[in-house]
Structure 1
Amino acid sequence: MPSSKTNRTELPRFGWPIQVKPEPCLPTTPEEAEAAFSANGDRSVAVRACRESFQSTSVFCLWIVYKDLLNEYAQQGWGPPPEFPTPPPFSIEPITGCGRGMVANRVIKTGETILVERPIVMHPAAVPLSPDHPRGMWGVVEDMYEVSFPHLGERERSLYMDLWNCKQLTGTLGNQLVGIARTNGLQSTFTRSKHLPHYGGVYPNISRCNHSCGPNATVKFDEEKMAMRLLANRTISAREQITISYTVLGDPCADRQDDLKTKYVFTCACKHCKPTKRSRPSRPLKHPYWNIPNQTTSDQVDVEAEIYVSDVRRDQISDRLSHAEELWEEWLSPLSKQSDRDLLQFHEDALVIIAQEGMEFTRIHDIAYLAHACAALEDEGGFRRWGNMLISLSGWSQGDEGGLQMKTWQDWVREPKTSPAWGLRVQTRGMAKGKGKA
């Protein structure tokens, strides 16, 4: 049986964010979808009219839902809409080459909530397709949308029909409604479904956000309130377009372009896909993990070389947390020869690379590691600095569990010595010295 001292160094004791919780994957092949449908049991879907209360006559969302979730959420109604900043810090405006988009009308700070809103429609991201339907594979879903759409209010119907549709049209209302949903749906996960938790929600304003491979905002869905929160990943300047991601940002540029072209019929021209100037880190990098081979030094822009280096950086970002866990465990071993600077430099350099690639939404894990490392070194100032930074990025603290996690970090920052990581590195050094004397 492991000793209690050994158990104290295990990552689960420190609370999220420092561990990455596995999330269920959306089926990507017909075989995976069939397996998920079979595991789900009842494949039938129904339409639920979502209201603020069971007494309300107005419907804010049509939820096409598998019957395993039909009675799992908010049977008495979803309650009043969540609060959001007023006046809103954005406007919806024409964007050259991109239809309309969301534009900041003032400076928006890092971590600030830009908007919280509920969907107009919600449908499963994976549905049993109906090849025998006279209107084709999506025919059953089209029928459900067409029959239920009139139950929405006039305002909701107008906002919905004003959204872009990139899917093939057949001339029917149901086809148009499903096309808009498939074009503008944002992933909204309902965790009480073990097999098919992924849904696509269409939102009045957030679905207006255009794509970037280095987005300045991110979305977080609150399944208990049926609402999506839009948060700033970094400081957004006044008149800057507010962007989110439509694809997997850790994938190579070519794969991202293929995905966007296939699903949304456009080619991304953001600075990460069509660089017009050299991309340089904000300061020199020191940890060997972040060394990149074949990086050009010329001031001239070699587009292929820039994209290659960006792909390498994104791959490093995607893989860094498994390396971070190994570094942490080695650092806390009594036999460790690793320097304190090595561990800290790894995560400080990670923050530089993450900012360079516009992937700030991933940085919270590195900030948490830096806070825990300072606690392990009994560095109160460093722990409070990184802990307060983590707390300020409140997008990770959603729902009841998130609220408890946030309170835990606030308590630790007030009293750093209550952190479960406090003094761990100091203690392992003492153990190593003791063994050396023996």
Structure 2
Amino acid sequence: METFGITDRTKIYGAEVRPVPGIGFGMFATKNLEVGDIVMIEYPVIEIGHAGSIAELCDRYFSLPPAELRTVDALHCDPTKLEDAIANPQHQDNVYRWVHKKQRAGEFLPETDTHQVAWLLLRLWALFWTNCSATPNNKSGLYPAFSRANHSCRPNVTWPIEMMDGEAKLTMTATREIRAGQEIFVTYCSSMRTLPLKERRSKLMNWGFTCRCELCTSEEEKLAHGGRSLRPRR
């Protein structure tokens, strides 16, 4: 059974990840959720320093069990971030240096297609920075199931990350009633609801999309009819 991002590092309650036509994936309630209900608890499958190197990321990646490798590989990778990674000479040098080091150590066969491996690792770098979240221990962590949840400028859950027994624990909690079958939305930036539409969409371009959530669509319609900028209600 395909779990779409659920690993042994994830505990999910009353929700599931499933495909969304035209978007990719989303997280949906499988039962009625009340305010304060815990939707999910997740720990990162990969965690590196904020200034972490490609070598550090590759080492963490190749230490994962096969099932988690497949889960990471299946996550969305922002094409712009991939183009930037491929065009960065320093990234390319670091990747080839890492691959050659592994070949000398006998971890990759000499006949391994170095260029293909290098491309895959540059994609891994772009994929990680597409999906990672900052953690309280000054690192960035990859939470696969959380990465499947879509953004809204009016989210219906919170997702604080706190240190617990030395690990960065993400807890997703309902902030509004969510009926069974409804989509669960997170926000990619905490200040979104207080910003005007244009500023919100500008910030979200960092994730490679134009936001068309309920709040943005409503404000867009008001602007089209009123001809002036409206701030969202608090």
Cα distance between partner residues in 2 of 1:147 and 1:121: 10
Partner of 1:156: 68
- The answer to whether residue 217 in structure 2 is matched with residue 239 in structure 1 is no
Structure number with higher strand proportion: 2
Which structure is higher in RCO with an 8 Å CA cutoff and minimum separation 6?
A: 2
Identify the match of residue 254 of structure 1 among 186, 192, 198: 198
- The answer to whether residue 148 in structure 2 is matched with residue 205 in structure 1 is no
Cα distance between partner residues in 1 of 2:71 and 2:228: 38
Residue 186 of structure 1 contacts residue 207 of structure 1 at CA under 8 Å; is this kept in 2? no
Q: Please tell me the residue identity of whatever aligns with 1:108.
A: L
Cα distance between partner residues in 1 of 2:124 and 2:224: 40
Cα distance between partner residues in 2 of 1:306 and 1:96: 33
Change (3 A) 1:188 1:230: same
- The answer to whether residue 214 in structure 2 is matched with residue 271 in structure 1 is yes
- The answer to whether residue 38 in structure 2 is matched with residue 113 in structure 1 is yes
Residue 110 of structure 1 contacts residue 233 of structure 1 at CA under 8 Å; is this kept in 2? yes
Residue 35 of structure 2 contacts residue 175 of structure 2 at CA under 8 Å; is this kept in 1? yes
Cα distance between partner residues in 1 of 2:9 and 2:144: 14
Partner of 2:47: 122
Partner of 2:231: 310
The superposition leaves residues 374-402 of structure 1 with CA deviations (integer Å, 9 ceiling, x where unpaired) of: xxxxxxxxxxxxxxxxxxxxxxxxxxxxx
Unpaired runs of at least 5, structure 1? 1-79, 128-139, 191-196, 279-300, 314-352, 354-438
Deviation at residue 305 of structure 1 after TM alignment: 4.5
Partner of 1:185: 132
The superposition leaves residues 241-271 of structure 1 with CA deviations (integer Å, 9 ceiling, x where unpaired) of: 111011231322211111111x111000012
- Mark the structure with the bigger radius of gyration: 1
Residue 45 of structure 2 contacts residue 142 of structure 2 at CA under 8 Å; is this kept in 1? yes
The superposition leaves residues 268-301 of structure 1 with CA deviations (integer Å, 9 ceiling, x where unpaired) of: 00121111898xxxxxxxxxxxxxxxxxxxxxx5
Residue 165 of structure 1 contacts residue 176 of structure 1 at CA under 8 Å; is this kept in 2? yes
Cα distance between partner residues in 2 of 1:306 and 1:92: 39
Change (3 A) 1:184 1:308: same
Deviation at residue 187 of structure 1 after TM alignment: 2.5
Change (3 A) 1:304 1:145: farther
Cα distance between partner residues in 2 of 1:307 and 1:98: 30
Q: How does 1:341-356 map to 2 (within 5 A)?
A: 353=234
Change (3 A) 1:113 1:168: same
Q: How does 1:18-167 map to 2 (within 5 A)?
A: 84=11, 88-125=13-50, 127=51, 141-166=53-78, 167=81
Cα distance between partner residues in 1 of 2:214 and 2:228: 10
Cα distance between partner residues in 1 of 2:24 and 2:54: 25
Q: Please tell me the residue identity of whatever aligns with 1:180.
A: L
SS at match of 1:168: helix
The superposition leaves residues 319-378 of structure 1 with CA deviations (integer Å, 9 ceiling, x where unpaired) of: xxxxxxxxxxxxxxxxxxxxxxxxxxxxxxxxxx4xxxxxxxxxxxxxxxxxxxxxxxxx
Q: Please tell me the residue identity of whatever aligns with 1:205.
A: A
Deviation at residue 118 of structure 1 after TM alignment: 0.8
SS at match of 1:309: coil
Give the TM-score normalised by the residue count of structure 2. Answer: 0.71
Residue 102 of structure 1 contacts residue 210 of structure 1 at CA under 8 Å; is this kept in 2? yes
Task: Please give the root-mean-square deviation of Cα atoms over the aligned residues, in Å.
Answer: 2.6
- Aligned positions, number: 188
Change (3 A) 1:251 1:146: same
- Percent of counterpart pairs with the same letter? 23
Give the TM-score normalised by the residue count of structure 1. Answer: 0.40
Cα distance between partner residues in 2 of 1:93 and 1:258: 28
Residue 9 of structure 2 contacts residue 45 of structure 2 at CA under 8 Å; is this kept in 1? no
Cα distance between partner residues in 1 of 2:31 and 2:228: 32
Q: Please tell me the residue identity of whatever aligns with 1:243.
A: F
The superposition leaves residues 86-116 of structure 1 with CA deviations (integer Å, 9 ceiling, x where unpaired) of: xx31111112332111111111111110011
Partner of 1:228: 170
Unpaired runs of at least 5, structure 2? 1-7, 87-117
Partner of 1:168: 82
SS at match of 2:185: strand
Change (3 A) 1:276 1:258: closer
Change (3 A) 1:307 1:203: farther
Residue 37 of structure 2 contacts residue 173 of structure 2 at CA under 8 Å; is this kept in 1? yes
SS at match of 1:119: coil
Deviation at residue 81 of structure 1 after TM alignment: 6.8
SS at match of 2:153: coil
Deviation at residue 175 of structure 1 after TM alignment: 1.4
